[in-house]
C-alpha cells in the first residue's frame, strides 16, 4: 500500500477560480443597514453623488435665458430669507 503524502496537492484551475470568486463576493458584501446612522450616511453619500452630477447636467441643457431666470429666482429666494 502506498503511503499518503502529507503535502497538499496543488489546486487545479477550477479550485483557484472558485477561491478568487469567493474572495470577490466577500469583499463586495452589502453594508449593514440595520443602524440608522449607517443608513443615513449612505443616503447622504448617494444624494451627494446625484447632486454633483445633476446640477452641471441641468445647466448644460439650459439656454442662457433659462439660466439667467433660474439664477435671478435663486437670488430672490436667498435675499427674501434675509429680511427676517
pLDDT tens-place string over residues 14-36: 888 888 888 888 776 676 778 88
Q: Contacts from 40-43 at CB under 8 Å and sequence distance 24+? A: none
The range of the structural domain enclosing residue 76 comes to: 56-84
Q: Where in the chain does DSSP place strands (E)? A: none
Q: pTM value? A: 0.39
- Residue 68 in domain: yes
Judged by average pLDDT, the poorest of 17-21, 31-35, 42-46, 64-68 is 31-35
Q: What's the distance, Cα to Cα, between the start and end of the chain in Å?
A: 96
- Residue 1 in domain: no
Residue among 53, 55, 60 nearest 74 (CA): 55
- Residue 66 in domain: yes
- Residue 40 in domain: no
* Number of domains present in the structure of the chain: 1
- The answer to whether the beta carbons of residues 59 and 67 sit under 8 Å apart is yes
- Residue 27 in domain: no
Amino acid at each position: 500500500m502506498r503511503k499518503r503524502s502529507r503535502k497538499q496537492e496543488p489546486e487545479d484551475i477550477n479550485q483557484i477560480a472558485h477561491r478568487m470568486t469567493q474572495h470577490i463576493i466577500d469583499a463586495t458584501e452589502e453594508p449593514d443597514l440595520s443602524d440608522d446612522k449607517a443608513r443615513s450616511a449612505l443616503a447622504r453619500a448617494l444624494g451627494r453623488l446625484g447632486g454633483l452630477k445633476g446640477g452641471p447636467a441641468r445647466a448644460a441643457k439650459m439656454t442662457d435665458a433659462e439660466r439667467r431666470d433660474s439664477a435671478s429666482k435663486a437670488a430672490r429666494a436667498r435675499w427674501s430669507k434675509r429680511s427676517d
